[in-house]
Structure 1
């Protein structure tokens, strides 16, 4: 693996003849905290040229599990800070060269202040995992150490039927769906997938733990190290499966236990589909994980009493009462208004080992 940092563009005559393709990546710019493009798919021998624009950024290797922390030597690399004045609009601009050694994923971030936590990350050969990598980085910027307020369960608001007219191109469609008062309004015709990282070394939380999704969107859970689940519950009983507490026959979803070894290089996934705007509550039913705050929500109404912080606080107060153990039942089929389970399977290979020749200043 070759990584070269240069103070300015140099003649290609001093660089060994490239046998592979060349990818050009712009780093930052006026008011821009991102790499452009955010990821590339490259073959061994390909070259990735980073061009640093205005402000002061880095190209620093990290890992999928710790997106905003530098990967130690000998596998890590770091361009160092490359300051560019706002008034410099013509260059030449600092550059850095990375030669791709193999097809394994390479995870990168900017270590300037909180740029990584604002989503300034990059990847080479991420497979389907880039969205999860970026989501994990941004979740580090939204975490809080302040204890949540005490919470008590209150009555759930009633679902109301909404009729909406949606225009897609030349077609106009009238649709009806169930909506909770105070929930988000649908904003897009196309669906989105929301990547959620579950657990990891020393981590008992979902990242991010609280999202807003539209009907038709999917949520994909990426299970990391240890043994976790994603199990649907209710606000009033956060640490008990919905199937055990529902009074109207709801079964809810359950990923089942997803054991992942500490040295694993592939990670299982589990996907649900959002059917309406009603809040969705979930937890990890492994031992005392829920009682330690390992809960998750979709479309929690943050302006009301049944918000995410109250849900998590209630889980901690109940201390996981009623949770099952790791010998629990297999995944359950969706019923009623619960999100639809679409798929589960092994994720792309994420482990890698490479030789770094070091940063060479030209």
Structure 2
């Protein structure tokens, strides 16, 4: 009986160790998430790296039918501001996938110098290739003429949740209380806006890339070393029981 319990525990360790980490760059090269759509299984971690400098973005959960509106009960990274000339380390927002049977949609809440979501700064996890695709979601966001009223979300989401806010916040990276610096062009100057207003920051022409960019290898890192250690632990537990 004890042997079976030990085996179950060891297998649980190995299952955790084999979870993949799927990386998504936020704001790197414009008002974009890259890749725009990724595939992830239950237990995998989707790691959002705020790498656009300068920039200020969010990763906020939405519904397919309301691409630029915070989903009730959905996750929200809050605003992460990256200054010009930022050298890192990039703040990271990690979401653990809890339900991989349904697509997860997200967008950027930033309004300055213009609403990022309306330019197509949206993304997805496990979006299908037909029907409610990432292309359809992007087009729906671009078709909006104004940004809906925004409200805050939390770390817990629907289908995916985070255990902590974006971190580390070092070397000028910060989480301002609302929309502010928004430019992703190195030659641009920073501006300050509100969650519903505009900013004096120059307008960026960057828009969301076309295509689904479906990519589970968007830097998937299987913890091979940890798996080996876990397997060794499994053997020692089983044979010592």
Secondary structure of the 2:47 match is strand
CA RMSD of aligned residues (A): 2.5
- What corresponds to 2:37 in structure 1? 210
Structure 1 segment 1-362 matched on structure 2, within 5 A: 190-200=18-28, 203-223=30-50, 224-225=52-53, 226-243=55-72, 251-266=73-88, 267-277=90-100, 278-287=102-111, 288-303=115-130, 305-322=131-148, 324=150, 329=152, 332-335=154-157, 337-343=158-164, 344-346=166-168
Deviation of 1:193 after TM superposition, in Å, equals 0.7
Q: Name the structure with the higher helix share.
A: 2
Could you tell me whether the CA contact under 8 Å between 1:212 and 1:298 is conserved in 2?
A: yes
Distance in structure 1 (CA, Å) of the matches to 2:133 and 2:67: 12
Secondary structure of the 1:291 match is helix
Could you tell me whether the CA contact under 8 Å between 2:77 and 2:155 is conserved in 1?
A: no
Deviation of 1:264 after TM superposition, in Å, equals 1.1
Deviation of 1:348 after TM superposition, in Å, equals 9.1
**Which runs of 5 or more structure 1 residues have no equivalent in the other structure?**
1-169, 172-187, 244-250, 350-362
Distance in structure 2 (CA, Å) of the matches to 1:320 and 1:189: 44
Deviation of 1:320 after TM superposition, in Å, equals 4.8
TM-score relative to the length of structure 1: 0.39
Q: Name the structure with the higher strand share.
A: 1
Distance in structure 2 (CA, Å) of the matches to 1:232 and 1:293: 15
- Pair 273,236 (structure 1): closer, same or farther in 2 beyond 3 Å: same
Paired residues in the alignment total: 151
Would you identify which runs of 4 or more consecutive aligned residues in structure 1 move more than 6 Å? none
